[in-house]
Structure 1
Amino acid sequence: MSMFKLKTLSGCVLVALLVSACNSGDSSSPAASGGSNVAPNGVIETVTGTGASCADASTLGCFTSPFEEPMVYRRDAANDANPDAQGVPSADKCLYDPVTERLRCKPAAGTISLLPNGDFLYFNALEGTEDFETGILTDFGTKAINDQTRVMRIPQGSNAATAWTRPRDVGSGANPNGYPITELIPGLTNKNTNGADGALFCADVAMLGDGRIMAVGGTAYYNEPGIDALPVGLIELEGLKTSRAYNPNNNSWAQLADMNFGRWYPSVVTLADNRLFVASGVTKLLKPVYPQAPEQSGRNVVVTETFTPPALGSTDKGVWKANGPAAQRTLPLYPRLHLLPNGHVYYNAGGQSFNPFGQSIDQPLWNIAATYNPGTDSWSDLAYAGLPFSFSDAGLESFTKLFNYTAPSEIAKSLQGLLSPNVLMKSPAALQAAATKLNASNPTAVVQKVLGSGMRGSTFSIMMPLRPDADGKYRDASFLTAGGVLALVAAGSPGSYVAVSSSRIDTVKTQPAATAKEGKVVDYNSEITGSLNEPRWYGTGVLLPDDSVMVFSGADRDGVVAPGVEMARRTAERFDPVTKTWTRMATANKPRTYHNTALLMPDGRVLVGGHAPISTLYFKNVNLAALGLGPNDGRDPSFEIYSPPYMSSAGRPVLASLGGGESVADVPGFSQIPLFRPGQTMSVNMASMGGGTLDSITLVRHTVMTHLIDADQRTVVIPAQAVNVGDGSLNFRIPDQMAILPDGAYMVFVRVKDAQGKLLPSASRSFMLRKS
């Protein structure tokens, strides 16, 4: 079947030049834009690049040559906060540090965010693996280092970065006095972790309404069992309660309030009222046994929490609140969550299966798509993901609560509902309707739908563009997933090992209301689309401003189950939303498997980076690339930029500026970015409409992503009929419907259709949106 297509090769010929230089005083650097608040260790580096060309740029797009930070920093203290750190120019990705007797390496972009001013904040993953003597299971508890952060600047139109800045508290400064870990047997734990009690690794990230980047959770490393002062034992990774925020104005991290539960691999999504909702994660990864709370053992964190951020300019740390028993839900790690137009949170039956084997005593329930209502603090089941059977049609909205033994009151409610006359009457009809929708006359389609259903491991989840109905309301949201590993319906999660190429779109139909509490979900359906050309595990999806979706990087099999023996996927693919098929595009220069990243740049290109794999088969770093496998000799700190085909079109419109906004007075570093309010009129001043007719304007939220996901990712379409065309300007009203545009930074793209009907987007301009 098409979902199991074998790997084939496709690509383009790259001709590129890269010229690099280093100095320490570029006034256009990210740090310099913060004025007198530049961190004392914010050493600035520069590298410049020339243009790149591609033989098939107009059809396949093109990748630039790779570029990377030119410095390696040594003489860092154990907590990586030494202001006297020395930057050494080096083409190598790591150098030996004679002071710490450790390798010091350039960080890879395992997590990355587009800041409001257009710079990029990224941080490392698995810092310290280069120093392994035996392997991750025995060494990492004592050799781990807090992950480094960087700010990188790429001017519009440039093919390489021009500056890197090290933020104050390069490792984010969390837990300088140690982390109160959860011991299984007191006294049998080696807590000497070289200061790696506040690692950013496996934190999730989101943008606060004032433009700060918030990181939630993370990792404390230690050996358990183990003994202090002895470098022996078995690694444990514990999820942190910590939350912290990076402030671009002073180039520094600050600690916010702690969560009620430690979380490793949680997911965070911004709610309509700008509070943050967190779900899942695990407190102890390898040994999830909790003597002090045995009922929580053997599974991920089921309690959800909601964060109320501090007021703008306040020194408060905000408040985390554990939600009630009806808000509990078993979910995979990094569950794929999204904010729906009615203000509810949608779980798209995807996530990471790694504990380390994905084990959780209730993991079959991960196959069920669901929504969370923040107005009632409760979950409702939608459907077995990918199948046409709707739980609501059978009156089974609370089915999964029957198995949540930590909330007895919810079990009773669920059981009462299951035995109600309503369910008994509706269920036969619902099952019959599902059988009809499966279309038994087409056995191939049935098999594809069944095998492709359920929880998908290591897949991206892209919210397709939100479009208004005829009455101007945004109601329905569709989500594209592709690749990953199948859950295998009969076995439940964590699923299979070999990547698949199957692709589907799930659509949730909503009924918005004045508040999330009153909003409703009225329908769910799922559609199988054309398959990827190559099975792909851990591919990063990016929604482009022409409505197509690109997927980058990844591997042919799960690089966590048996790391180092996977083959990298370097050829990007494009999803056409009209034909619903995937096409091979240009081939990247670098193989990027685990912890790769990709995000939309303001000029319409895509920044691709990352690659921080687990050491080969959990032992030492070994590069098996000569055998055609992914390189596992440590992280790759490089980036490359992909130009989609529309970048080579002469007919693109040219956006000059945005008019009608306010100055962002309380964010001085972003004074050049206008501030708008929902419902306000925005004027888009055009230098040229290009070679086509106006199709629409889109508002695209700045990407803030880790582990393939950006729960706040969204593109809101303003159709041409809602735009007033003036003399050189396009004027429209910013939607004020609840949950469509949470506070934060957005890009404005103007789109025209050429004579062939292709969408051609402009480069964008950014603005801050704030309700009050």
Structure 2
Amino acid sequence: MGKLSERLRPNQLIGAIVALTLLAACTSNPKPQSDTPPPDESVYTIAQGPDLSAVWGTQGCDGTPGERYQKGCFGKILPWPGGTYVWNSNTGNKKIIPINTVLLPNGKVFTFGAGDDTFRFYPTEADIVNGGKISADLWDPLTGEHKPIDNTTTELFCSGQSALPDGRILIAGGHEGRLYTSSGPYLGSKDINLFDYQSNGWLSFPGRMAAFRWYPSSLALPSGEVLIIGGIDARASSNTPDPQLNNVEPLDIIEIWKVEGNTPSRRLLLNAPKRAYAHSQYPWLFIASNGKVFVAGQENRLVYLNTAGDGAWEDLVDGGMPRETPPSGYSTFVRNSGTATLYAPDKILVAGGSPGDGVTDYPVASALTIDLNLPGTPIVQSISPMNFPRRHHNATILPDGTVWVNGGTKGPGVNNQELENRVYDSELWNPDTRQWKLTAKAQKFRSYHSTSLLLPDGRVMTGGGGRCDGCAPQDDNADVEIYWPPYLFNPDGTLAQRPDITRYPTRVRYNQRFSVRVKGGVSKVTWLRLGSVTHSVNFDQRINALEFTSAGGDSYYVRTPANPNLAPPGFYMLFVVDGSGVPSTGRIIQIMP
């Protein structure tokens, strides 16, 4: 018999090749592409988690064994160091107050507060000098070591910050002083600063924002860019318009920054001015699984922002989305200085806040959830209220998926510090039962300008408070307390035996199956983005429950989120939780764009 190509005409040959190809495809029966994760090209590391008993003596806490097991406990007061460029309060100290708090990829905590120029004032706009100085601090939660570092280009007081995919921190805006008198209106900053955790160095971009922003929000996007929105400034009505602004007020401009190496670029969402769509001061922003930015407050208007191209708003209120019923006597409901957090993909918890800033506007204990993941119109549901009304409090997602709330004031107005209005009790919200449980009492009043940050070892750092107009000097809290959650304790009050991730990758990609080795049981695998907090807002906080299967013995396969809408590129803490609800130490892993 001759060769097949010799026995068939050209058109017959083509048909035969196609048929053979189809036959091979049918008989090989490959898995669908969507079910095939990318190859595991990760670099693995082997390590043993820190033993918290080693820091119990210096950072541990009191309380009866039963109290520790049921409510957890707050550790000893840990003082923060002094700095070269720190606002000198009425007490005469030069201590750094952790008003802005960020967890870095090396496990250290980066904090800064108010700088030298916080209350500098200028008689006229012509006298304004851009720039300032501030001292920041790097703290190791395990060793307790501090390293103060200075920024000599910008006063970063009340700025917004988010992490880039490479772990550097982009800080938007800040403060340039006050206008007309020492008690006059505040001046924002146009500066963008970058902090590099590997070199402990600062980079101030020559390009500046479209507006002077004090109290802006920032958000890490699935694209690896950072969204910057809002803020206030005494010169808002007289800002010199950017040529690209198309006569839109500068503070209405929403901008997106991208950083490649040390080169920044900026684009403006000119078709989506902020205006009434987002609160001026630290609006609550979340990435939804559809890739859009959901604005959950602080105002009672719930909208999507599409950041593609020149931007577009999608008003869900007009689309039938239910809103909260305002308290009696109010036409609208604004949860000023409340808090909100993305406790699961497309699911948001909103708690507390005040319907206004007046002396008769009392904070509320009410809470609600917003579910963007259901078919049709997103659902807003009231849930059981907190045990206390709160304003200026913080919400922190824990490795087991619960949400811990601490601090705040229950008095009316802005920053009410009356003794009878101080809330020392903390509480825990369970998303499965949708109920609140009282937890331990803090030793210090943490309200306005306080922060709360999940640490890799499963504890929570709470710190700051003070440094404001009307703040009592004794409440300028240049210190922190560590909260030890109840999952860290046995019924007898001793530290629980924790599962330990002993082998894990340092970098992964989306929809990738990777392996881990775990000493101890595994009932849940979660990962949480490294936190970045100020003014009751954690810009980067989010959690994913990851799929996992046993690989035999002490090994498990874990699947990363499918796409960056579910987990924007950057650094996350990987936790395993055992059958008793005890979490491991979080292993910090980078997911690549």
Q: Same fold (TM over 0.5)?
A: yes
Q: Relative to 1, partners in 2 of residues 1:462 and 1:708: Cα closer, same or farther, differing over 3 Å? A: same
Q: CA deviation at 1:280?
A: 1.1
Q: CA deviation at 1:446?
A: 6.9
1:16 aligns with none
Alignment-mate amino acid for residue 381 of structure 1: D
Q: CA deviation at 1:550?
A: 1.0
SS at match of 1:533: coil
Tell me if structure 1 keeps the 8 A contact 2:134–2:152. Answer: no
Alignment-mate amino acid for residue 515 of structure 2: S
Q: Relative to 1, partners in 2 of residues 1:571 and 1:504: Cα closer, same or farther, differing over 3 Å? A: same
1:219 aligns with 175
1:469 aligns with none
Instruction: String of CA shifts for 1:682-736, please: whole Å, max 9, x gaps.
Output: 22211122xxxx43211111101111112321101114xx423322111122123
Instruction: Return the match for 1:163 from 118, 121, 145.
Output: 145
SS at match of 1:615: coil
1:683 aligns with 515
State yes or no: 1:763 paired with 2:585: yes
Q: Relative to 1, partners in 2 of residues 1:120 and 1:255: Cα closer, same or farther, differing over 3 Å? A: same
Q: What pairs with 1:214-613 in structure 2 (closer than 5 Å)? A: 214-224=170-180, 235-256=184-205, 257-284=207-234, 288-290=236-238, 301-310=251-260, 314-316=261-263, 318-330=264-276, 331-332=278-279, 333-350=281-298, 366-376=299-309, 377-383=311-317, 391-393=318-320, 454-466=333-345, 477-486=346-355, 497-509=361-373, 522-558=376-412, 560=414, 567-613=421-467
SS at match of 1:480: strand
SS at match of 2:488: helix
How many equivalent pairs are there? 523
Instruction: String of CA shifts for 1:63-117, please: whole Å, max 9, x gaps.
Output: 1110113x545xx5xx68xxxxxxxxxxxx9799xxxxx9441111101001001
2:20 aligns with none
List runs of 5+ in structure 1 lacking aligned partners: 1-45, 81-92, 97-101, 156-160, 175-197, 225-231, 351-365, 384-390, 394-429, 439-444, 467-476, 488-492, 512-521, 624-631, 662-673
Within 2, Cα distance between the matches of 1:60 and 1:678? 37
2:49 aligns with none
Tell me if structure 1 keeps the 8 A contact 2:122–2:177. Answer: no
SS at match of 1:59: helix
Q: CA deviation at 1:234?
A: 5.1
Tell me if structure 2 keeps the 8 A contact 1:110–1:707. Answer: yes
Tell me if structure 2 keeps the 8 A contact 1:341–1:510. Answer: no
Tell me if structure 2 keeps the 8 A contact 1:118–1:153. Answer: yes
Within 1, Cα distance between the matches of 2:329 and 2:312? 29
Instruction: String of CA shifts for 1:398-445, please: whole Å, max 9, x gaps.
Output: xxxxxxxxxxxxxxxxxxxxxxxxxxxxxxxx9xxx7xxx9xxxxxx9
Q: CA deviation at 1:233?
A: 6.0
1:49 aligns with 58
Q: Relative to 1, partners in 2 of residues 1:65 and 1:706: Cα closer, same or farther, differing over 3 Å? A: same
What RMSD over aligned residues (CA atoms) do the two structures have, in Å? 3.6
Alignment-mate amino acid for residue 503 of structure 1: A
Within 1, Cα distance between the matches of 2:359 and 2:236? 20
Instruction: String of CA shifts for 1:223-242, please: whole Å, max 9, x gaps.
Output: 32xxxxxxx66533222111
Q: Which runs of 4+ in 1 moved over 4 A?
A: 93-96, 126-129, 135-138, 291-300, 445-453, 493-496, 561-566, 650-653
Q: Relative to 1, partners in 2 of residues 1:95 and 1:173: Cα closer, same or farther, differing over 3 Å? A: closer
Alignment-mate amino acid for residue 465 of structure 1: A
Tell me if structure 2 keeps the 8 A contact 1:462–1:541. Answer: yes
Tell me if structure 2 keeps the 8 A contact 1:615–1:633. Answer: no
Q: Relative to 1, partners in 2 of residues 1:747 and 1:274: Cα closer, same or farther, differing over 3 Å? A: same
Alignment-mate amino acid for residue 315 of structure 1: N
Within 2, Cα distance between the matches of 1:344 and 1:495? 37
Q: CA deviation at 1:201?
A: 0.8
Instruction: String of CA shifts for 1:245-282, please: whole Å, max 9, x gaps.
Output: 11111111111331122211111111111111111112
2:39 aligns with none
Tell me if structure 1 keeps the 8 A contact 2:520–2:578. Answer: no
Q: CA deviation at 1:646?
A: 0.6
Instruction: Return the match for 1:199 from 131, 155, 169.
Output: 155
Alignment-mate amino acid for residue 456 of structure 2: P
Q: Relative to 1, partners in 2 of residues 1:297 and 1:290: Cα closer, same or farther, differing over 3 Å? A: farther
2:140 aligns with 153
2:71 aligns with 60
State yes or no: 1:643 paired with 2:484: yes
Alignment-mate amino acid for residue 655 of structure 1: D
Alignment-mate amino acid for residue 351 of structure 2: A
Q: CA deviation at 1:604?
A: 1.0
Asked which structure has the greater RCO (Cα within 8 Å, sep 6+), the reply is 2
Tell me if structure 1 keeps the 8 A contact 2:61–2:76. Answer: yes
Within 1, Cα distance between the matches of 2:236 and 2:565? 36
Instruction: String of CA shifts for 1:163-183, please: whole Å, max 9, x gaps.
Output: 10012xx1x232xxxxxxxxx
Within 1, Cα distance between the matches of 2:526 and 2:239? 52
Tell me if structure 2 keeps the 8 A contact 1:657–1:765. Answer: no
Within 2, Cα distance between the matches of 1:731 and 1:715? 19
SS at match of 2:421: coil
List runs of 5+ in structure 2 lacking aligned partners: 1-54
Within 1, Cα distance between the matches of 2:512 and 2:69? 38
Within 1, Cα distance between the matches of 2:237 and 2:56? 49
Instruction: Return the match for 1:112 from 88, 96, 101.
Output: 101
Q: CA deviation at 1:148?
A: 2.0
Within 2, Cα distance between the matches of 1:291 and 1:254? 25
Q: Relative to 1, partners in 2 of residues 1:577 and 1:315: Cα closer, same or farther, differing over 3 Å? A: closer
2:37 aligns with none
Q: Relative to 1, partners in 2 of residues 1:746 and 1:54: Cα closer, same or farther, differing over 3 Å? A: same
Tell me if structure 2 keeps the 8 A contact 1:449–1:528. Answer: no
1:426 aligns with none
Within 2, Cα distance between the matches of 1:348 and 1:536? 18
Q: Relative to 1, partners in 2 of residues 1:502 and 1:653: Cα closer, same or farther, differing over 3 Å? A: same
Alignment-mate amino acid for residue 500 of structure 1: V
Within 2, Cα distance between the matches of 1:58 and 1:270? 36
Alignment-mate amino acid for residue 683 of structure 1: S
Within 1, Cα distance between the matches of 2:343 and 2:239? 44
SS at match of 1:461: strand
Within 2, Cα distance between the matches of 1:716 and 1:269? 17
2:36 aligns with none
Instruction: String of CA shifts for 1:285-331, please: whole Å, max 9, x gaps.
Output: xx643275699999882111111112xxx332x11111122354432
Q: Relative to 1, partners in 2 of residues 1:234 and 1:653: Cα closer, same or farther, differing over 3 Å? A: closer
Alignment-mate amino acid for residue 122 of structure 1: T
Q: Relative to 1, partners in 2 of residues 1:717 and 1:562: Cα closer, same or farther, differing over 3 Å? A: closer
